[in-house]
């Protein structure tokens, strides 16, 4: 902590200014960590640079969005051309067709799509469409599932999962949300049966991202999908993190799933704000304002002022176009580095007799410190019972002492500009941290 403070005096000054402007000094709750976050003034490739001249190898990578690294040349070049041609047309534009088509081609169920500006909007629209199409009201999500800050889905996100997620809601939103235990099909089905008659959809992340980097069991996803098909319930995959992260498109092809809708965000914006709701024609047509002339037929899916803006469309298209042409190299590289990181960290902690579990898939990974309360990580409840303070201490030490940045508590993402030396550096730094004994001192939360 002392070292961090010594290295970041300018960040401290900016933080003091920031708290006078923004609640908590930040514009996204998870970006705060003690004693104050460092302030970034430049980012390039795999590095963040702060206002004190410190350089960090970044594994947070813009909330896991930046698969090509910070400001990749292929995107910057196209944005340089687009910016003088207009940043926000507020009208139909043909760049959106290019991005729409490349998504549609790689995700077969995305027969129709709507662009918006955040993932939170995309999930809000997806469940609204599900309610409109099924004429039912209840939304099912998993305990610990994170779908953004839209009010409907602010249920069972944080431990203890059964109480309201903060104040400012009516307290009745939960009447229309059923939360099921992640990766536990039998108990999930019992809960689903109890609300079946009014159940509009299940929305689920194929990898619990914010909830702790835990891949869903394929049979769990298949079981939920089958339940949906049997009971006239829509199955929605929230792939805002996993879309184009694990392969070129959706996990649905890899896992042989057939969801009704998919939500996308992050990677498909190429570093600019985006959300996408896509799905089968029969479902998405309810959002067509040209065909559905009256309010009894139309489901309002707005998109918003900045939807389909030419900058996001350009950045998103150039990102996906680049990955599409180099897909073999891109996914081989980042998935392999993910394996090396997970296996290397596992071996290291085990060599030192530390009880940890390194979770993740592809290029995403997170270390959990097991405790006397939890022996295995299979869901968000297990994550909440693990030694969170030790994880904070680990991430903080990586950042302060070794210039390796994970947003404290959050999973890391590998981009194509990371290499095996970075992963080895992470493993070496982890070993030094273990040896220093600092993890046992913990960071005060």
Nearer residue to ligand PLP within complex by CB, 29 or 343: 29
In whole angstroms, how close is the CB of 153 to ligand PLP at the nearest point?
Answer: 8
Query: Minimum Å distance from CB 274 to ligand PLP?
Result: 8
Residue with CB nearest ligand PLP? Answer: 119
Q: How far is the CB of 145 from ligand PLP (least distance, A)?
A: 8
Q: Least distance from C-beta 273 to ligand PLP, angstroms?
A: 7
> Quick one: 148 or 408, whose CB is closer to ligand PLP?
148
Q: Are 114 and 283 in contact (CB under 8 A)?
A: no
Residues 243, 258: Cα–Cα separation, whole Å: 15
Residues 345-375: b if buried by 16+ CB within 10 A, e if exposed = beebbeeeeeebbbbbbbbbbbbbbbeeebe
Q: What's the CA gap between 218 and 267, in Å, rounded?
A: 23
Any bridge partners for residue 369, and if so which? Answer: 356
**CB of 123: closest distance to ligand PLP in angstroms?**
5
Q: How far is the CB of 129 from ligand PLP (least distance, A)?
A: 16
Q: Among residues 123 and 359, whose Cβ is nearest to ligand PLP?
A: 123
Task: Give the nearest distance from C-beta 180 to ligand PLP in angstroms.
Answer: 16
Q: Which is nearer to ligand PLP, 241 or 334 (CB)?
A: 241
> CB of 205: closest distance to ligand PLP in angstroms?
5
Of 275 and 279, the one with the shorter C-beta distance to ligand PLP is 275
Residue 146 or 235: the one with the smaller Cβ distance to ligand PLP is 146
Name the minimum Å distance from CB 218 to ligand PLP: 18
Nearer to ligand PLP, 254 or 436 (CB): 254
Three-state SS for the chain is CHHHHHHCHHHHHHHHHHHCCCHHHCCCHHHCCCCCCCCEEEEEECEEEECCCCEEEECCHHHHCCCCCECCHHHHHHHHHHHHHCCCCCCCCCHHHHHHHHHHHHCCCCCEEEEECCHHHHHHHHHHHHHHHHCCCEEEEECCCCCCCCHHHCCCCCCCCCCCCCCCCCCCHHHHEEEECCCCHHHHHHHHHCCHHHEEEEEECCEECCCCCEECCHHHHHHHHHHHHHCCCEEEEECCCCCCCCCCCCHHHHHCCCCCEEEEEHHHHCCCCCEEEEECHHHHHHHCCCCCCCCCCCCCCCCCCCCCCHHHHHHHHHHHHHHHHCHHHHHHHHHHHHHHHHHHHHHHHHHCCCCEEEEEECCEEEEEECECCECCCCCHHHHHHCCHHHHHHHHHHHHHHHCEECCCCCCEECCCCCCHHHHHHHHHHHHHHHHHCHHHCCCCC
Least separation in angstroms between residue 266's CB and ligand PLP is 7
Closest distance to ligand PLP from the beta carbon of 63 (Å) = 5
Q: Which is nearer to ligand PLP, 259 or 275 (CB)?
A: 275
Residues at the site binding ligand PLP, with contacts judged by CB under 6 A: 63, 118-120, 123, 146-148, 205, 209-210, 238, 240-241, 265, 275
**Residues in CB range of 238: below 8 A, 6 or more apart:** 119, 123, 126, 145, 147, 203, 204, 205, 262, 263
Nearer to ligand PLP, 236 or 299 (CB): 236
Return the number of the residue (265 or 344) whose C-beta is nearest ligand PLP: 265
Q: Of 212 and 265, which CB lies nearer to ligand PLP in the complex structure? A: 265
| The pair of three-digit structure tokens given for residue 297, joined into one six-digit string | 């037929």
């Amino acid at each position: 902590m002392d070292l961090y403070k010594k290295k970041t005096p300018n960040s401290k000054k900016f933080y003091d200014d920031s708290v006078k402007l923004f609640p908590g000094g930040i514009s996204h709750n998870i970006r705060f960590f003690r004693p104050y976050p460092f302030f970034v003034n430049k980012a390039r490739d795999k590095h963040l640079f702060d206002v004190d001249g410190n350089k960090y190898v970044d594994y947070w990578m813009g909330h896991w969005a930046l698969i090509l690294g910070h400001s990749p040349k292929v995107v910057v070049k196209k944005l340089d051309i687009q910016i003088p041609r207009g940043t926000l047309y507020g009208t139909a534009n043909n760049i959106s067709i290019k991005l729409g088509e490349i998504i549609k081609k790689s995700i077969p169920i995305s027969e129709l799509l709507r662009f918006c500006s955040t993932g939170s909007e995309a999930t809000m629209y997806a469940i609204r469409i599900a309610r409109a199409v099924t004429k039912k009201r209840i939304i099912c999500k998993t305990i610990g599932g994170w779908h953004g800050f839209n009010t409907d889905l602010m249920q069972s996100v944080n431990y203890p999962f059964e109480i309201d997620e903060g104040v400012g809601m009516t307290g009745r939103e939960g009447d229309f949300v059923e939360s099921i235990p992640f990766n536990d099909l039998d108990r999930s089905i019992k809960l689903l049966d109890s609300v079946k008659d009014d159940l509009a959809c299940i929305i689920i992340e194929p990898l619990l991202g914010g909830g702790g980097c835990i891949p869903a069991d394929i049979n769990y996803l298949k079981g939920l999908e089958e339940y949906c098909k049997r009971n006239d319930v829509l199955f929605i995959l929230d792939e805002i993190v996993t879309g184009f992260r694990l392969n070129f498109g959706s996990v649905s092809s890899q896992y042989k799933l057939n969801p009704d809708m998919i939500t996308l965000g992050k990677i498909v914006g190429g570093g600019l704000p985006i959300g996408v709701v896509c799905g089968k024609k029969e479902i998405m047509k309810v959002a067509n304002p040209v065909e559905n002339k009256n309010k009894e037929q139309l489901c309002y899916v707005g998109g918003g002022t900045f939807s389909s803006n030419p900058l996001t469309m350009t950045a998103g298209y150039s990102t996906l176009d680049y990955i599409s042409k180099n897909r073999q190299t891109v996914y081989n590289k980042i998935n392999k580095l993910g394996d090396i990181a997970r296996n290397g960290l596992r071996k290291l902690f085990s060599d030192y007799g530390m009880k940890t579990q390194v979770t993740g898939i592809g290029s995403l990974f997170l270390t959990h410190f097991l405790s006397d309360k939890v022996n295995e990580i299979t869901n968000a409840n297990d994550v909440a019972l693990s030694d969170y303070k030790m994880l904070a201490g680990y991430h903080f030490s990586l950042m302060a002492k070794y210039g390796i940045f994970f947003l404290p508590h959050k999973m890391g993402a590998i981009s194509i500009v990371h290499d095996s030396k970075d992963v080895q550096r992470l493993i070496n730094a982890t070993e030094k941290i273990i040896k220093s004994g600092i993890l046992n001192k913990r960071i005060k939360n």
